[in-house]
A and B are shown apart, each in its own frame.
Chain A
Amino acid sequence: MHIIENGNAAAALGVKLCRANVIAAYPITPQTPLTEKLSEYVERGDMKAEYIPVESEHSALAVCIAASSAGARVFTATSANGLLYMHEQVQWASGARLPIVMCVVNRAVGAPWNIWNDQQDSISQRDTGWIQIYCADHQQIIDTVIKAYWIAEKVSIPIMVCYDGYILSHTFMPFDLPDQEKVDGFLPPFKPEYALSPEEPANLNTVTLPDVRLDVHGELAHSYMEIRYLLQEDLRTTLTVAADAEKRFGEIFDRCGDPYIESYRCDDADHVAVGLGSLTYQLRVSVDALRKEGIKVGVMGVRFYRPFPDEAIANALKGKKTVIVFEKALSYGYEGALTSDLKSALYEHLAGTGTLPSVQNFIVGIGGREIRTDDLTQMFRSATQGRVSREPTWIGLKL
């Protein structure tokens, strides 16, 4: 059934369809309408779940960690400083291997205070061992939430479903609302290998000494280093699991695509723009404009950011002349994090083959600065003509 709703409602509907058992969240702009929607569903009895109001984001994720450890399917959502306040528990959730799904409604982080959109919040959590998926429209938001539970529960790793504040969270768009029956067919009930229970008491995530130990059964148990290695190993395997999820989703819902990247007019392109989230759809307008001028350009959205689909990205960009990375965040003191990751993937897979593109980095829309499509087109055009700058170039800066 097609409906017209905003992005936050799309996420909430996805969580409802997935039959989450426990929701704990603390409201923060622009995530607030999402949690409000979920509390309405629970209050009205549309959703059989515990909605646990908490006094902070740190507590919200702590509640989710506890509930997930007890075998519940859980959900939380946050933005910006709320996510930063959660950071300690964010690391804990991945180390504890809990399949939590969290929406990050992307917003600039303070200081100074700013409630508008950029992606510094989730990018700053890149190295926490969570899977990160970026959405470009409402259909992707609702579909990604559903896929996220399936993937997270398969690999026992938490997932951030990221989408742009306001641009997606507060705008209305038509999208297909999946049938409950189909979602139930896609996503079986959550049955963890171990769930906290009085019949089988255990102490979870207990202190590990620097070396391995014999457990009470006399079996050699992991120490910290093995547990962390397995997280890395399973994150890399998640790329395969994500492809399975996409295939399975396509079979049931009749829509799917490349699980990692979303390319637009890239096949014969000499120059390809790369980005995360809704910005890549805006860049399609620039691509169409530049194509009319005869410049062979395309745009590639990176959907899966962690684990990083390095091989898929390098293959897609092989032989291109220029890769232009547009980012709403940066690793302060260097360049956009996606730019660095992308360069690393290109070097790893293409160095010495004569097919290595040059890479340029543009920073846009920081703190909600308006991203004018004409500006994007102009900078995109300049980048196709030669290197604009060695340093990341800030578009729309009024300095």
Chain B
Amino acid sequence: MGTRNYRRKTSHSEHGPGDGGRTGSWRVERPVLDQSLCIPCKRNKEACFICWLFCPEIVISRTIPPRVDLEYCKGCGICAEECPTRAITMVDEAKFSEEDKE
């Protein structure tokens, strides 16, 4: 199956997840959240969300707990860097099993 019948002849992206490809495959480190340190988790209130605010890929949800869409997270580590309570740690992808990766 190819792209012969695709409706355009250029690279044309619309707003939405994944229009730049599955960028999750670029990741070498994965953000892992420690809910015991995360402010909204601890207080069970909509608060902080610095990770959501700073994520350049818009892959962190504004929820309790915040969730990372690993399909598109490039593993840049900005969320871990910005988290005021150091609740996010970047962990080597090699540490996760093949199942976890998918």
Contact = CB atoms under 8 A, between A and B. Distances in A.
A binds B: yes
Interface of A: 95-97, 156, 193-194, 201-209, 212-216, 219-224, 226-227, 230-231, 234
Contacts of A216: 13-19
**Chain A contact residues, majority secondary structure:** loop
B89 to A, nearest CB: 28
Given A213-B21, A214-B18, A208 B11 contact: yes
Contacts of A231: 9
A307 B13 CA distance: 29
Contacts of B22: 213
B94 interface: no
Contacts of A205: 10-12
A207 B7 CA distance: 18
Nearest to A69: B10
B20 interface: yes
A209 B15 CA distance: 18
Interface string B1-33: 111001111111111111111100000000000
Contacts of A212: 2-3
B3 A97 contact: no
A221 B18 contact: no
Contact of B21 (A203, A209, A230): A209
Interface residues of B, number: 20
Contacts, number: 80
Nearest to A210: B21
B3 A234 contact: no
Nearest to A211: B21
Interface in B36-68: none
B3 A220 contact: yes
Nearest to A207: B20
Contacts of B21: 209, 213
Given A230-B9, A231-B9, 15 more contacts: A156-B9, A194-B12, A201-B15, A206-B13, A209-B21, A212-B2, A213-B18, A214-B18, A215-B19, A216-B14, A219-B6, A221-B3, A222-B3, A224-B11, A226-B3
Interface of B: 1-3, 6-22
B26 to A, nearest CB: 10
Contacts of B3: 212, 220-223, 226
Give me the 3 closest cross-chain CB pairs, A-B, nearest first.
Answer: A216-B16, A203-B13, A206-B13
18 contacts: A95-B10, A202-B12, A205-B10, A205-B11, A206-B12, A213-B21, A214-B18, A215-B13, A216-B14, A216-B17, A216-B18, A216-B19, A220-B1, A220-B3, A221-B6, A221-B8, A221-B11, A221-B12
Contacts of B17: 216
A83 B11 CA distance: 26
Contacts of A234: 9
Nearest to A216: B16
A238 to B, nearest CB: 13
B74 to A, nearest CB: 13
Nearest to B22: A213
A227 B18 contact: no
A227 B19 contact: no
B6 A222 contact: yes
A208 B17 CA distance: 15
A71 to B, nearest CB: 15
B9 A97 contact: yes
B28 to A, nearest CB: 17
A213 B9 CA distance: 14
